[in-house]
Amino acid sequence: MAEFAFELNDDQKQVRDWLHGFAADVIRPAAAEWDEREETPWPVIQEAAKIGVYSLDFYAQQFFDPTGLGIPMTMEELFWGDAGIALSIVGTGLAAVGVLANGTDEQIGTWIPQMYGDADEVKVAAFCSSEPDAGSDVGAMRTRAVYDEATDEWVLNGTKTWATNGGIANVHVVVAVVDPGLGTRGHASFIVPPATPGLSQGQKFRKHGIRASHTAEVVLEDVRIPGHCLLGGKEKLDERLARARERAKEAGGERVKNAAMATFEASRPAVGAMAVGTARAAYEVALDYAMTRSQFGRPIIDNQGIAFQLADMRTRIDASRLLVWRASWMAATGKPFTSAEGSMSKLYASETAKQVTAQAVQILGGNGFTREYPVERMHRDAAIYTIFEGTSEIQRLVIARTLSGMPIR
C-alpha cells in the first residue's frame, strides 16, 4: 500500500512539468478564442492527441498510479491552462471510465478506441446520465431501456441533458432504467454506436462558463441497439437485478441507495482538482498584478487589504489541494470514506475556486472586469464546480448524513 506523501515523486513531477508545458504553450494561448467561439476546440484536442495527452493509455497510467495522485495532478495542470478547453480534453474520459468499470474485455477493446480516434482524426465520447428531472436525484431517472427478446435488441427512449459532447460524440454511453422498482440499482449502462438511428442532439446550451466545452441534450427516440451493447452483458445484469431485489427485501432499499452514492463519492476528488487548477491560475494572475501595479507610489500588494486577500487565497488553495490528495489517496488504497472525504474535497475546492476567482477580479479592479485579462473568464468558469458532480448543497448533505449515520438518499 502506498504511503501518503505531501509531495509528488520524481516521476510524477516529470509528468506534471510536461502537462504544465502543454497547458502554458498550447491551451492558454487558445483559451480566449474558443471561449468566445463557444465551440469544441478540435485543433487543441488534436495537439493533445499528437503528444499523447488525449489517449486512453495516458489516463489509464494516471488512474492506476498507486498513490492516487496521478489523476488530481493531471486535472490541476490542465485546468490551470483553461477550464473549458481542459474539459473538452478530459470529457471523453467520463464515458471511457463508464465502459472500463462496467464493460467486458471485448466491449472495452471494441468501444474505447472508437471514443478517442487517433491523432489524424480525433473522436470524442459522451456520458449521458443527467435528465431534465433527474440531476442530483438520480433515482428520478426516466429514460427507459426495454429488451426485445425477439430481435436481441434494447430499445431506448428518453431525454438526457447536460451531456458533455452530447450529440457530437462518436460513441454515447447512456444510463437507463431497466427495472423501475429497484431505484438506482435498476439502472444499466448502454453503448450507442456511431450513427445509430433515433439518437439526436437536442438543445445546445449557451453557458456562463466553460464555453469551449460542448454541452447539450441528447434525445433518444426508439433507439435500437444490439444486445451486446449492454455493458457487462445480459447474464450479468440479470444476476445483479436478482441480488438487488433480494437486498431490497432485506434492507428496505437503503443499502441499494447507499451503494449508488458510494460510486459518486469516489469520483468527486477529480472535480476538486479541476477547481484547484482554476483557483491557482487566478491567484497567480492576481499576485503578479498586485506586485507590478502601482498606486500612490507603491505596489498595491503593500496595502494590507490586498496582501491579506492574497494570503487567504493561497491558504485556501493549498488546503483544497491537500483535501483532494487525501481523498484521492484513500480511494486508490481502498480506505473507506467514513467521513465523506470525497465530498469534503469537492465541496471545499469548488467553493474555494469561486471565492478565489472573485477576489482576483476585485484585486485587478476595472481590468479584472474586462476580457483583456483572464480572471474574468476564470471567474465565470469557476461557477460550474459548485454545480456539477453534485452541488455544494448535496455535498453538505452527504457529509452531514455520513457523520450522523443517517441514510444517504
Is residue 190 a contact partner of residue 153, using CB atoms and an 8 Å limit?
no
Q: How far apart are CA 331 and CA 69, in angstroms?
A: 10
- Measured CA distances, 279 to 77, 132, 192, 404 (Å): 11, 30, 36, 31
Is residue 244 a contact partner of residue 257, using CB atoms and an 8 Å limit?
no
Torsion of CA 258, 264, 266, 270, to 10 degrees: -160
Give 325's DSSP letter: H
DSSP string, 246-292: HHHHHHTTHHHHHHHHHHHHHHHHHHHHHHHHHHHHHHHHHHHHHHH
Q: Please pick, among 36, 254, 389, 393, the residue that the annotation labels catalytic.
A: 389
Angle (CA) 34-35-36 rounded to 5° is: 90
Q: Can you read off the three cell numbers belonging to residue 347?
A: 465541496
Q: How far apart are CA 222 and CA 145, in angstroms?
A: 10
376 is catalytic: no
Active-site residue list = 389
